Amino acid sequence: MTKPSKKTPPTPPPPAAERGKAPLIIGLVTVAALAVGAFVVIQNNNQPSASADVASAQPAAATPAAPAQSAAVPGTAAPPPPAPAQVLKPHTQKQYPPLALPGYALGRSQDVIRAAYQFAAEHPEILTFVPCFCGCERSGHKGNEDCFVKSRGANGDVTEWEPHGMECNVCLDVATQAMQMYSSGASVRDIRAAVEQKWAAQAAQSHTHTPTPEPPKN
Tens of pLDDT, residues 177-190? 999 999 999 999 99
pLDDT score at 51: 43
For residues 141-146, give the mean pLDDT.
98
Task: Specify whether the CB–CB gap between 161 and 148 falls below 8 A.
Answer: yes
pLDDT over threshold 80, residue 9: no
Q: pLDDT tens digits, residue range 45-91? A: 555 444 444 344 444 444 445 544 445 455 556 655 555 556 689 99
- The pLDDT of residue 218 is above 80: no
How does pLDDT run across 163-178, given as a tens digit for each residue?
999 999 999 999 999 9
Average confidence (pLDDT) over 181-204: 95
> How far is residue 69 from each of residues 20, 66, 77, 124, measured CA to CA in Å?
89, 9, 17, 49
Global pTM value: 0.61
Q: Which residues contact 26 (CB under 8 A, 6 or more apart)?
A: none
For 41, 106, 121, 162, the CA distances from 145, given in Å and listed in that order, are 101, 20, 8, 9
Nearest to 126 by CA among 103, 148, 159, 100: 148
Q: Where are the domains of the chain?
A: 110-206
Using CA atoms, how far apart are residues 172 and 121, in angstroms rounded to an integer?
14
How does pLDDT run across 85-131, given as a tens digit for each residue?
566 899 999 999 999 999 999 999 999 999 999 999 999 999 999 99
Chain mean pLDDT for the chain: 78
Q: Where are the beta strands (DSSP E) in the chain?
A: 149-152, 158-161
